[in-house]
Structures are given as structure tokens and as C-alpha cells.
């Protein structure tokens, strides 16, 4: 079946502007507050704190910067203040979600920590509590856990928080993708000892860049604000007692975020409609939408994804940079579907590749519900093997989820996916 490509590209998820943004940007310009202080920053911090329900927030240059300062603060709380040039986590392991973007993990390395990756569960595609408990059995001295809410879907928060409390560990919440999502009526970003969100250009609301550190502690918020402005001390000259960073959000970027915040719920509603339309369009295909706990959580539906049933997968192999497949009647695979979507002039993506499979982290431990996931496929080793994250990666893909996509355009994408299965 032939499909005509879209004249204008359909993106995975792109910024949606409304007009108020430019007013606040112009305000920064006309008042000459073209800096990392100003009214826009103050307003954004207050609005996000109110939305999430936390007491304090600090506007930063990116979600990665926010995560880095979460990690640094947690490291100093746990292990003391390091010497200049040494990371706050030097010599210490940190448990981290396995299926995530590298920005979750890199800040651990910035501070000299060693990420230990925790396998995923099928119910939400997030950190598996059983694997986390097993990790504490193997590494009982670990005191820091980094949880990600993948694609805007809350993880199993109650179980993970209980395990962290049992083992006296701090919980950092990477809510970069999940602003506006909730668990048992509470917003994500509220559950961690420290939490971070992102306003990157593809997020549910955007500043083109930017992020936010969230906390209940005024002292911690003040510490992060100090670190983010080069750790300048109270002196008329530049005086420094700590290593600092140029991490503060620009008042211009804050203007864009300020104009976006009133539209968060509208964007979530649009994303949900896209998810539901895909779900209806694929109901007779051997695929499932990315799952969530409908009883306890409400995602923000940032990205709509599918996972292909095992028996409906055609043969597919991947290297570190390329993929091959053999087309089969009635079957398909992520590579075939993504090629078909790309031919439409639309953007899809594979599911995020698990961190334990990334070349840079292949020597880091990876823990499943059954124990270490390393070297478990040897022919001389008996027993079961589990690697949920890799299975989701091999069978899953992210569909075009841009909220400016029309229903008619989405219907074409649905038809293309159906065609891959011979429907």
C-alpha cells in the first residue's frame, strides 16, 4: 500500500507556543533583565512549586543541571563535603533506573559515583521494586536511589519509597518527563528527597531549555541556588568556599516557561487524546500501548509508545548503531515500523536503550529480580535469566506524539503501522 508523505514533518514531540511566552520575553528585554535574575524566574519558581505541591523550587539551566545538583546535595548529605576537585559520591555506588535517557545517569558520574542499574518491570516500564530489593541484598551499603518516571508514567512509588526507607537510602526523583503526572493524587516531583524536572524543547511544556530543582527544605534550596551561581560568598569581591556552577536559569528562558505553565493541562489533555486514538486504532493488532497503573496514577501521556507481542515479532537484529530485519507476513518489528513512519516524513524513536547495554556502562553492574544480570547467558550456567528492559527495547517504539498533529494525520500514521502487520 502506498502512502503519501506529509508535506510538513510530524515530530515525536515539539514545542507548542501560545503567544504569552513572547510577552514575558519582551518584558525581560524591555526592562533590561537579560540575566539570571528577574521577575520571570521568581514567578516560574513560585508557579512550579505551587503546581507540584512542594515548598521550594530553584530554576536552573537544564533538567540535567537540576539532577546534578540533586546528586551533589545527596552525596554531601550522605558522605560529607568532598575536597575541591573530588566528587561527592567518589567511591560510592548508586542505584539507578535502567531504561532512561543518559542525562539521568551522567550526573552520578559527574560526582564520581558508580551507577548500578536496576531492571525494569512490565507494569509501568519503570524501576522494578523486586530488583531494587535484590540490589540492596547484594550491595547493602548503598544509600542513594535515582528513580525515573519514563515517558511521563509514574513508577511504583509506594513500593520503592518503602524499600528506600527500609534501607535508610535517599530517593532522588527524575521527573524530567513527567511534569503534570500524578500518583494517588500527588504530583510527581513531590516524592523524592530531592527531585528534578525538565523544560527541554520536546517536553510537555518548554522553555527551549531549562529545568527545576524541587525540595521541601529551604536550606537545601538556598544551597542549590548558591551552587548554581558559582558559589559566591557574601563579600564585595568574588570569594569562594565551595565549587560552583553556571547553572542558573536565564530570565529570558524563564519568560518562555512562564508563558507555558498555564497550558500544561491543555497539553496533557491533547497528549491523552493522541494516546487513546492510537489505542483504539491498534486494538486488533498484536501490540500494546505503554502501560500505567490506572487505579493509582494518571500519566501526562508525554509520549505514546507500543510494544509488539513476542509471537508477532519478525526477525530483527541490532548492532550499536544499525538494525536489520526480515519482513514476514502478519508480523513486524520496531525497525520496520520506524522506517515506514520515517517514509511518511514523521518522527518515531526506539524505546530508550537500557543504560546497562550502553558501551560506556557495560562494566557496571545490572541487577534484576533474580540477582545480577551480568554473564547469565552462559551455556554452563543453569537457571532463569531476566532482562525486562532489553526486552522492552527490542520490541518497543515511540510513536509520533506531537500535540499539533491533527486526527487526520494520526489516522495516516495508524494506517501505516497497521499496514506493517498486513492489516
In sequence order, what are the beta bridge partners of 372?
Answer: 367
| C-alpha cell, 248 | 542558573
DSSP state of 354: P
Domain match, 193 and 338 both:
no
Please report the pLDDT score of residue 380 as a whole number: 63
Provide the pairing of β-strand 315-318 with 114-118.
unpaired
Domain match, 97 and 155 both:
yes
Domain match, 258 and 276 both:
no
Domain match, 196 and 275 both:
no
Judge contact between 156 and 121, C-beta under 8 A: yes
Please report the pLDDT score of residue 386 as a whole number: 83
Report residue 377's pLDDT band, with 50, 70 and 90 as the boundaries: low
Whether 313 is in a domain gets the answer yes
Domain match, 162 and 275 both:
no
Please report the pLDDT score of residue 385 as a whole number: 73
Domain match, 219 and 286 both:
no
Residue 45 is part of which domain span? 20-262
Please report the pLDDT score of residue 113 as a whole number: 98
Percentage of residues in the chain with pLDDT exceeding 90?
95
The enclosing domain of 354 has a CATH number of: 3.90.1150.10
Please report the pLDDT score of residue 161 as a whole number: 98
Please report the pLDDT score of residue 379 as a whole number: 60
Mean pLDDT across 333-362: 97
CA-to-CA dists, residue 106 to 23, 83, 101, 194, 293, angstroms: 35, 20, 9, 17, 29
Domain match, 230 and 378 both:
no
Whether 242 is in a domain gets the answer yes
Percentage of residues in the chain with pLDDT exceeding 70?
98
Q: For the segment 229-268, what is each residue's pLDDT rounded down to a tens digit?
A: 999 999 999 999 999 999 999 999 999 999 999 999 999 9
Whether 167 is in a domain gets the answer yes
Domain match, 182 and 279 both:
no
Domain match, 59 and 207 both:
yes
Report residue 292's pLDDT band, with 50, 70 and 90 as the boundaries: very high
Q: For the segment 327-346, what is each residue's pLDDT rounded down to a tens digit?
A: 999 999 999 999 999 999 99
Q: What is the mean pLDDT of the chain?
A: 96
Quote the number of domains for the chain: 2
Please report the pLDDT score of residue 383 as a whole number: 62
Judge contact between 355 and 127, C-beta under 8 A: no
Report residue 375's pLDDT band, with 50, 70 and 90 as the boundaries: confident
185, pLDDT greater than 90: yes
End residue of a domain, out of 262, 288, 312: 262
Report residue 148's pLDDT band, with 50, 70 and 90 as the boundaries: very high
Q: Which residue has the cell 542505584?
A: 95
Please report the pLDDT score of residue 382 as a whole number: 64
End residue of a domain, out of 239, 262, 285: 262
Domain match, 270 and 253 both:
no
End residue of a domain, out of 219, 237, 262: 262
pTM score of the predicted model: 0.95
Mean pLDDT across 110-123: 98
Mean pLDDT across 61-81: 97
Whether 2 is in a domain gets the answer no
Domain match, 230 and 131 both:
yes
In sequence order, what are the beta bridge partners of 145?
Answer: 95, 171
DSSP state of 374: T
Domain match, 81 and 133 both:
yes
Amino acid at each position: 500500500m502506498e502512502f503519501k508523505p506529509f508535506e510538513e514533518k510530524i515530530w515525536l514531540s515539539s514545542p507548542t507556543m501560545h503567544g504569552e511566552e513572547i510577552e514575558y520575553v519582551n518584558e525581560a528585554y524591555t526592562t533590561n533583565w537579560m540575566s539570571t535574575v528577574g521577575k520571570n524566574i521568581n514567578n516560574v519558581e513560585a508557579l512550579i512549586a505551587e503546581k507540584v505541591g512542594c515548598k521550594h523550587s530553584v530554576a536552573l539551566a537544564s533538567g540535567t543541571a537540576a539532577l546534578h545538583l540533586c546528586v551533589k546535595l545527596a552525596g554531601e548529605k550522605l558522605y560529607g563535603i568532598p575536597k575541591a576537585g573530588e566528587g561527592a559520591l567518589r567511591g560510592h555506588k548508586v542505584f539507578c533506573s535502567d531504561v532512561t535517557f543518559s542525562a539521568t545517569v551522567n550526573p552520578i558520574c559527574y560526582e564520581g559515583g558508580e551507577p548500578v542499574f536496576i531492571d525494569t518491570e512490565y507494569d509501568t516500564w519503570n524501576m522494578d521494586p523486586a530488583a531494587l530489593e535484590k540490589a540492596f541484598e547484594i550491595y547493602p551499603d548503598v544509600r542513594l536511589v535515582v528513580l525515573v518516571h519514563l515517558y511521563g508514567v509514574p513508577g511504583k512509588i509506594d513500593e520503592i519509597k518503602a524499600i528506600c526507607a527500609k534501607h535508610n537510602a535517599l530517593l532522588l526523583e527524575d521527573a524530567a518527563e513527567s511534569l503534570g503526572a500524578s500518583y494517588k493524587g500527588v504530583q510527581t516531583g513531590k516524592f523524592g528527597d530531592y527531585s528534578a524536572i525538565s523544560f527541554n524543547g520536546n517536553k510537555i511544556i518548554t522553555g527551549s531549555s531549562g529545568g527545576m530543582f524541587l525540595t521541601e527544605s529551604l536550606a537545601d534550596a538556598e544551597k542549590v541556588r548558591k551552587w548554581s551561581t558559582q558559589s559566591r560568598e557574601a563579600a564585595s569581591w568574588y570569594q569562594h568556599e565551595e565549587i560552583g556552577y553556571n547553572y542558573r536559569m536565564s530570565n529570558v528562558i524563564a519568560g518562555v516557561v512562564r508563558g507555558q505553565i498555564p497550558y500544561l493541562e491543555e497539553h496533557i489533555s491533547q497528549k491523552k487524546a493522541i494516546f487513546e486514538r492510537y489505542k483504539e486504532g491498534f486494538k486488533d493488532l498484536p501490540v500494546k500501548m505503554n502501560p500505567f497503573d490506572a487505579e493509582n496514577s494518571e500519566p501526562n501521556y508525554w509520549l505514546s509508545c507500543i510494544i509488539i507481542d513476542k509471537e508477532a515479532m519478525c526477525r530483527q537484529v541490532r548492532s550499536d548503531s544499525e538494525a536489520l530485519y526480515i519482513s514476514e507476513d502478519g508480523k513486524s518489528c520496531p525497525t520496520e515500523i520506524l522506517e515506514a513512519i520515517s517514509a511518511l516524513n514523521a518522527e518515531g524513536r526506539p524505546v530508550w536503550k537500557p543504560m546497562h547495554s550502553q558501551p560506556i556502562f557495560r562494566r557496571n553492574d545490572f541487577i534484576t529480580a533474580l540477582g545480577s544480570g551480568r554473564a547469565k547467558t552462559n551455556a554452563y550456567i543453569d537457571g532463569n535469566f531476566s532482562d525486562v528492559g532489553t526486552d522492552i527495547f527490542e520490541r518497543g517504539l515511540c510513536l509520533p506524539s506531537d500535540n499539533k498533529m491533527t486526527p487526520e494525520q494520526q489516522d495516516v500514521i495508524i494506517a501505516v503501522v497497521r499496514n506493517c502487520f498486513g492489516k
